[in-house]
Structure 1
Amino acid sequence: NLMRIAALNLSQNTTIDNGQKSNDTALQRFDKSLEEFYALCDQVELCLRLAFECLSQSIDSSKHSPNLVPTATKPDTVQTESQSYTQYLSMIKSQISCAKDIHNALLECSKRIASKGQI
């Protein structure tokens, strides 16, 4: 749409510059179309960033939890490369413990920085 409007405006300006009578049809404003084009580009950029974040999260998830917990399936089917629910719980508990340790270390560091700033 932007290119069509730009072409129509250019054609009309060329006609006027050549001294010919131009059509009296109201042309759409180029700046409004350009603004709409940039808005669409921004939306595409946001969608691409979101897709990248989802992909990164999926990769991190598969890295930190490589084995899946088996789902409810038929008793005769065996899922390979899966872990039991208790193994999954212990892995999650260790991840939570690690996150708490990092949180506590950051809190301690911020308290030290704050106390040095008050001296």
Structure 2
Amino acid sequence: MKDLGQLHHFLGVSVTHSSAGLFLSQRQYILDILEHAGMQDCKLCSTPVDTCAKLSYDGPPVDDPSQYRSLVGALPWLTFTRPDIAFAVQQAVKRILRYLSGTLDHGLRLCPTSPASL
């Protein structure tokens, strides 16, 4: 076994150390998904779910169903560091991608606490 020092990257998760704790992010993974979907320059949105959703026909079916399945399959992995999208993963893939594009630097902050506190 070899000590490689502080953890910086593991299974696609970037780890940043600070005095406040750890910050986990999947920025590059989000960029890869956006590129795979051809949505690098998409219009951004501020929430992962449309708060005024109405059932409607939103354009033609996808050209490549396997690409759609691949994108949908990639999103659950993001819920590890992005619990803000856990519910929305099942709601609207394109909206989530637009939201992720505008929130690339969001992640999960882990702060040290005393074992006696919640």
Report the structure, 1 or 2, having the larger strand content: 2
Higher-Rg member (1/2): 1
- Output the TM-score relative to the length of structure 1: 0.22
Report the structure, 1 or 2, having the larger helix content: 1
- Output the TM-score relative to the length of structure 2: 0.22
